[in-house]
Amino acid sequence: MATKPSSQPSQLERAKKALSEHHHRVTKSRLAVARALIAHNSLWITPEEIHQQIQNQELVACDLTSVYRTLTLFERLGLVARSEFYGEAARYGWRSERPDDSCEHAHFFKCKNCQEVEPLSQCLFADLAKSLAKRGFTNLEHRFEVTGLCPNCR
């Protein structure tokens, strides 16, 4: 599901501002990567999918290496979140400015047939992580992925 057209300019401006504030150049290829991610707001996509979208829709020379470098930079700037799926490449999602989007991680459902990925809205392990943190454990991370068939593939 793509974002509303009216939200894209503000999200693109947010990317430009973050790049400028951290003394990075605002280039056509970086903006093309940002547009691809913003257009897939609710979907988590791979660098290869981003590259393919840019090749299909943009008049910008942007190779796959540039996509990877831009994603790494955007992740450092807090513009994107990265999630790794069992046995495959990492996927990236555009982070909104909503207060409830501050989560450092996400959990997903992935269809075994069509490979569609849908974020899950809750973290089943949040209470456990808080309990461990209270007991002195630090640098806690976890991954959770549910697989099966989506309603369209069942």
As a whole number, mean pLDDT of residues 118-145 equals 83
Fold of 1-98: Arc Repressor Mutant, subunit A (1.10.10)
Q: Which residue has the tokens 């490449």?
A: 89
* pLDDT of res. 138: 87
Which CATH code fits 103-154? 3.30.1490.190
77: helix, coil or strand? coil
Domain boundaries defined on the chain: 1-98, 103-154
Q: Which residues pair with 45 in a beta bridge?
A: 92
145: helix, coil or strand? strand
For the cut 50, the answer to whether the pLDDT of residue 4 exceeds it is: no
As a whole number, mean pLDDT of residues 101-115 equals 70
CA distance 129 to 141: 8
* pLDDT of res. 8: 59
pLDDT digits (tens, 9 = 90+) for 94-107: 887 643 443 456 67
For the cut 80, the answer to whether the pLDDT of residue 112 exceeds it is: yes
Cβ-contact 35, 9 below 8 angstroms: no
